[in-house]
Structure 1
Amino acid sequence: MTTRKKIIIVVTTIITLFLVWYLAIKKSDYCISFTVKAATGTVYQGVQEWAAARLIKNNEKYIVIEKQNFDFIKLEMIKEEVWIDYTWTLASINDSVTKVSVGIKDYNNSFYNKLSVPFFNTDFKKEQIKKIADFKTDLQDHLKNFKVKINGKGASEISLVAYISLKSVLQEKAQKMISSDAIITGFLASNNIKIKGRPYLEITKWDFNSEIIEFNYCFPIDKSTKIIFDEVVKFKTLPIFEGLKATYYGNFRTSDKAWFALIDYAKKQNIKLDNRVLEHFLSNPFNGGEEIKWKTEIIMPISSH
C-alpha cells in the first residue's frame, strides 16, 4: 500500500468517526459560549430567573431536568410543538469571572440542525443566539446593582443576640426576614430590651440541591440583658465565626451573591468551606440612600473535615 493510500484511509477514518460522533453521539445541536463577570452561583440564579421571565413574556414553560452545585442546570422548554433542551455548564475562571456554555438541542429537528447550523444562519440558530444574548444583557444589567469584595480570611465578634429561627428557599430569605421583623423587634420593645448594633443573619443549614436554607435572624443586645423565655424569640451567644470573608455592597435581598463569590474563591484556593454563613448588615435600609452603598460583611467558615 502506498503512502498516499494510507493517508487517504487515515483521513477518511477520522472524518467518518467525526461524523458519527457529531450526528449520532453529540448531544447538542448548537452550543453558545461566553464569559461574564460574575460568580457561577450568580449566573445559575440568573438562568432560573431568565426561564421564569420567558414564561411570562413568551409563554415558554421551562422545567428543570437536572441541576448540580450551582454550576450545572438542564432545562426543558415546551411550547406547543416545540421541544428544546438547554444545558447550562458554568465554569469558574476566578471568583469574579465565569465561562458559560449553553448546549441547545431541538428534539424535533436535531438532525437537520446539526447539518445546517455550521454552514447557514438558520432561523433556529438566529433565535437561539437572540435568546442567549437577551439573557446575557439582563444578567449584566443585574450585576450593576451590587459589588462583592473578597477580603480573605477574617473573623466575627462574640455577641449576645435575640433571634428568631426561619426557613425558606434561598431567593426568599430577605422576604422572610422582613415579614418576621415586627415579631422580634416588637418583642424586644415590649420587654424594654434595647438593640445594640446592626442585625446578623446566621445560616445554620444550606442544602445545595433543594436550595433551602435554615437561618437565625439575630439582633445584638446588651450582655447584661436578663433572658426572658419565649417560644418564638430565643436568646444565645453568637460565637466567633472564622473563615473566608467578603464585603457586599447592594440590596440585602441579593447578598447571597457574595456567598457564591466566596465559594468560587475557595475552590481556586483549595479551601473547603462549611455550608454555613454569617452576615452582618452594617447599613439600615430604612434610611434610604443608594443601594449600592449598603454594606454587609459576610463570613463562611472553613471546614475542619
Structure 2
Amino acid sequence: MKKVIALFCTILVLALCWFLFIKKYDYQISFESPYGPGTAYQEVYNLQTLNGTDSVKTVKLKDWESFNEITQMAHLKAADSIELVWHFEPMYDSISNITVRTRSTTNKFSQRLSIINPFQENDYIQELKTDLIAFRKELYNLQSSYRIDLKEQTTTSPAATCACITSTTSLKGKAGAMIATIGSIEDYMIENGLKQDGFPMLQVKHWYVPEDIITFDFCFPIAGNHKPVSGNEVFIRKIAPKKAIYGSFHGNYKLSHRAWFDLYERAKNENIAITPEPLEVYHSNPRNGGDPLTWQADIYIPLKKQ
C-alpha cells in the first residue's frame, strides 16, 4: 500500500512539475466554426480586440501559417499579456474546428498555480472563455449575412474586353478600393464613347496570401473590338477564358472573397491544382440598394496549367 501511495505521489509531483515548468501553454479551448478553415483564419487574422466593445483588450499579430495557424499577443483585464495560438482544422460541410492554446507571459508561475487551485477560478481563463464565446457568436452572426453555393463541376470563366483600373489593398479593403475607382472608369468610358457590355468584373493579378494583400484589376466590359491600351490610370485589357472551379456568392460584395476560401478548401480536399488568381463577376449593382442576400457574384478560380 505504501508503495502505491509513494508511486501516486511521485506521479502527482511529476505532473505538477510538468504543468508548472515545462508545458508550453496554460489552457486549451476548442469550438466549432460555421466556416471552412480559410474564412475562420481570416476573421482571426484581422482581429484587433478580443472583445469588440472593449478597446483595452488589444490583439497584435505575432506569427502565422496561412490558413492553418495564427499566433497573437493579447491583453486582458485579468492578465497584462498573454499569447494565443489558434489552430484551424477542417471538419465537414464548410465546418471547421478552432483550437486556441493560451499562456500568460507575465506572472506565469502564479497564473498556473491559480489554474490548478480547486478552490478558486482563474480570472484570466474565465475572461478568455467569455470573450471566445462572444467571438464564436459573432462568427455565426456574420455567416447569416451571406450565402455561398459551390458548383461540383468545373467550367470556363467568361472572357471580355474591359476598361480597368489596378488597385493593391488588403482583402478587407477590396470593396472600398472598387468604390473609389468606379467614377474614374465611368468618366473614361464616357469621354471615349465606350459602351458597357456585361457585368463588372474583378480580376486578381496577385494574391499575397501570407500578408493578406491582393493586387487586382476592377473592370467594366465594353462593346466593340478594342485593342489593349496601357499607360493610363484607366486602361483597356482583355480577360481570357480559363478552365476553373467556381461558385456563386450572395451577400454584400465586401465579403465575396469568403467564397475564395471555400473554393480553396475544395481544391485542397480534391487535389485540384489551382492558380490563386480569382475572378469575380458582379451581377447586381449595390448602388441600387435592396437586400444584399439578393446580390449575386460568380466566383472563378482557374485551374493550374499542366
Aligned twin of 2:264:
263
> Is 1:208 matched with 2:209?
yes
> Is 1:89 matched with 2:90?
no
1:91 is displaced (CA, Å) by: 1.0
CA distance in 1, matches of 2:220, 2:285: 13
Given the superposition, is the C-alpha separation of residues 247 and 17 from structure 1 closer, same or farther in structure 2, using an over 3 Å criterion? farther
Aligned twin of 1:67:
64
1:260 is displaced (CA, Å) by: 0.9
How many equivalent pairs are there?
301
Aligned twin of 2:33:
36
Once the two structures are superposed, what CA deviation does each residue of 1:19-78 show, in whole Å capped at 9, x if it has no partner? 454333322111110111112222123224443474772322321110111331111124
Aligned twin of 1:146:
146
CA distance in 1, matches of 2:6, 2:267: 49
Where does structure 2 lack aligned partners over 5 or more consecutive residues?
none
Given the superposition, is the C-alpha separation of residues 145 and 232 from structure 1 closer, same or farther in structure 2, using an over 3 Å criterion? same
TM-score using structure 1 length: 0.88
CA distance in 1, matches of 2:228, 2:300: 27
1:304 is displaced (CA, Å) by: 3.5
Once superposed, what is the RMSD of the aligned Cα atoms? 2.6
Question: 1 or 2 for the larger relative contact order (CA 8 Å, sep ≥6)?
Answer: 1
1:201 is displaced (CA, Å) by: 0.5
CA distance in 2, matches of 1:228, 1:124: 59
SS in 2 for 1:197: coil
Given the superposition, is the C-alpha separation of residues 270 and 11 from structure 1 closer, same or farther in structure 2, using an over 3 Å criterion? farther
Given the superposition, is the C-alpha separation of residues 229 and 260 from structure 1 closer, same or farther in structure 2, using an over 3 Å criterion? closer
Percent sequence identity is 27
Where does structure 1 lack aligned partners over 5 or more consecutive residues?
none
Contact kept, 8 Å, 2:51 with 2:135, in 1: the verdict is: no
> Is 1:76 matched with 2:57?
no
Given the superposition, is the C-alpha separation of residues 55 and 254 from structure 1 closer, same or farther in structure 2, using an over 3 Å criterion? closer
For 1:104-119, what aligned pairs fall within 5 Å after superposition?
104-117=102-115, 119=118
Contact kept, 8 Å, 2:34 with 2:139, in 1: the verdict is: no
Aligned twin of 1:130:
130
CA distance in 2, matches of 1:227, 1:83: 54
Aligned twin of 1:189:
190
Once the two structures are superposed, what CA deviation does each residue of 1:272-295 show, in whole Å capped at 9, x if it has no partner? 322211111111112211101111
SS in 2 for 1:209: helix
SS in 2 for 1:117: helix
Aligned twin of 1:301:
302
